[in-house]
Amino acid sequence: MTDSTEITPIDDQTPLLPQTKKDEGIPASSLLQIEEGGKVDHLIDINERIDEMFEDLDNSFIESSTIFKVNVWQRESNPNAYTPKMVSIGPYHKKNTQLGPMKKYKLLYLRRFLQRNERLDVKSYISEMEKVKEEVLKCYEDIEKLGNDSHEFCEMLLFDGCFVVEFIRECCAIYPEGEDKIININDYYIFRDLMLLENQLPFFVLNKLHLMTKKDDELPLAILVNKLFAFFVNWPKMTLESFGESEYCNAENIKHLLHVVHIFLCHGNPMKNSEDYLTSLMVMPNATELYEAGVSYAKARNTTSLFDIKFENGLMTIPCFLVADGTETLLRNLIAYEQQSSDVYPTYFSDYTTFMDHLIDSDKDVNLLCQKGIIENWIGEDKRVASLFNKIGKGVTKYSNFYYKEEIKRAIEHCEKPWNRMKANLMRNYFSSPWVGASTVAAVILLILTTIQTILTFTGPLKK
């Protein structure tokens, strides 16, 4: 049993840290000895443990992370929206056994990929992945064990990267003449999985593989990604020509596929500056309440931006928004990317869904917006659309530079004027259609003539 000597203060004789013999080879200053009931439980090297924690923290690449795990408070309202259903890309969902059947398609795409450049073999591509491995690891969160097996990690980069590049090429009709498409069905669900924040590879990996095998006349990968997106999603967006001419088309400025789509949908919108912080905290009436207060709605025309919402002189113009089966998943992942990226400003999708959540409280609001051509409902009942917007904003942080604060402010001011509500009631009750309006005018004329006749009836005898 280890001998120990207790050092006690003279005043109260309370035991402090015990000292062990020097010949045990353990510095007494770094050990905490816990004595209870006359028995030594264990020795804890607290200094070493904390140092290891600091080292792990330094290796976590917090600042350089671009491919995040979705926060719990965003995930909890619909976890399935952030989880791949068909194919795993990258390390986060690599061990999901339910996605195993796609391995054969990864092999098929790898074989097609290798045929594009016969001067290079698998070993050559793995070697290229080795060169960027450390930079790739910095893009992920919680990557302590991801890079332990260097060969396995680089193999994953090659298999998954070839799958993504070849799938995009195939959807853009870039595959060997005389061959069939490798994936003929469920291509939308593959696209859906490629848009998940947790299911990404760094864009520089994909672009590297693309450049090593592309033909001279083949478009840049970012352009191909947006052609793919435009095929599957019918939302207002930048034109491919304007995107190709912009600085954002440069692969060095792109983090991953979801970021490409975010650029395609967002950039080109005007910046808005306002110092009125309180406006962003105010609650705008819903679509029906605004309508009852005299607000009119119209579908925005000739716009390339989903976010081009304006409120002027009692008229709210909103671009048409198509709601289909994959809409919620895409919106949620774009919002998650904005919420967890420190360099995204404005947070267009976060603010857009917050505004729509203000506007839509029930199926009655959805029905009104559908009648005006603002929402195209492809998912069935209007209450499903209302539920989508009411739930999607949970966990979304709202900032003082809210993009639609001026629109909300003007809408609230419009509703606070009594004359606007009175005028709206008059129009709805007495001029809701040409026939009702004609009847109202006829009734007013009849009332005026009756009044004149009554006055003449009483004033005639007096003149005599």
Q: How many residues does the chain have?
A: 464
One domain, residues 453 and 399? no
Percentage above 70 pLDDT, the chain: 78
Banded pLDDT at 261 (limits 50, 70, 90): very high
In a domain, 426, yes or no: no
- Alpha carbons within 13 angstroms on the beta-carbon side of residue 56 total 11
Average pLDDT score, the chain: 83
One domain, residues 41 and 95? no
Q: What is the pLDDT of residue 192?
A: 97
Cα–Cα–Cα angle for 274, 66, 113, rounded to 5 degrees: 130
In a domain, 271, yes or no: no
One domain, residues 222 and 322? no
In a domain, 63, yes or no: no
In a domain, 284, yes or no: yes
- Whether residue 197 contacts residue 333, with contact meaning beta carbons closer than 8 Å, is answered with yes
One domain, residues 226 and 290? no
Tell me: the pLDDT tens digits for 202-227?
999 999 999 999 999 999 999 999 99
What is the biggest distance separating any 2 CA atoms in the chain, rounded to whole angstroms?
138
Banded pLDDT at 194 (limits 50, 70, 90): very high
In a domain, 163, yes or no: yes
In a domain, 65, yes or no: no
Q: What is the pLDDT of residue 21?
A: 42
One domain, residues 414 and 290? yes
Give residue 450's domain range: 433-463
In a domain, 425, yes or no: no
One domain, residues 113 and 199? yes
- Give the end of a domain, one of 243, 265, 287: 265
Beta-sheet strand order (sheet of 315-318): 296-299, 315-318, 310-312
Q: What is the pLDDT of residue 145?
A: 62
One domain, residues 196 and 254? yes
Tell me: the pLDDT tens digits for 85-116?
999 999 999 999 999 999 999 999 999 999 99
Mean pLDDT of 319-332: 96
Percentage above 90 pLDDT, the chain: 59
* pLDDT at 126 exceeding the cut of 90: yes
Strand partners, 317: 298, 310
Mean pLDDT of 264-271: 85
One domain, residues 250 and 107? yes
**Range with the lowest mean pLDDT among 174-178, 277-281, 433-437?**
277-281
Q: What is the pLDDT of residue 189?
A: 95
Q: What is the pLDDT of residue 258?
A: 98
Give the best-scoring range by mean pLDDT among 73-77, 144-148, 239-243.
Answer: 73-77
**Range with the lowest mean pLDDT among 105-114, 186-195, 440-449?**
440-449
Mean pLDDT of 51-57: 66
One domain, residues 253 and 306? no
One domain, residues 241 and 98? yes
Mean pLDDT of 170-198: 93
In a domain, 273, yes or no: no
- Give the end of a domain, one of 265, 298, 331: 265
One domain, residues 50 and 76? no
- Whether residue 309 contacts residue 169, with contact meaning beta carbons closer than 8 Å, is answered with no
Strand partners, 376: 322
Strand partners, 32: 44
One domain, residues 445 and 352? no
**Number of domains the chain is built from:** 4
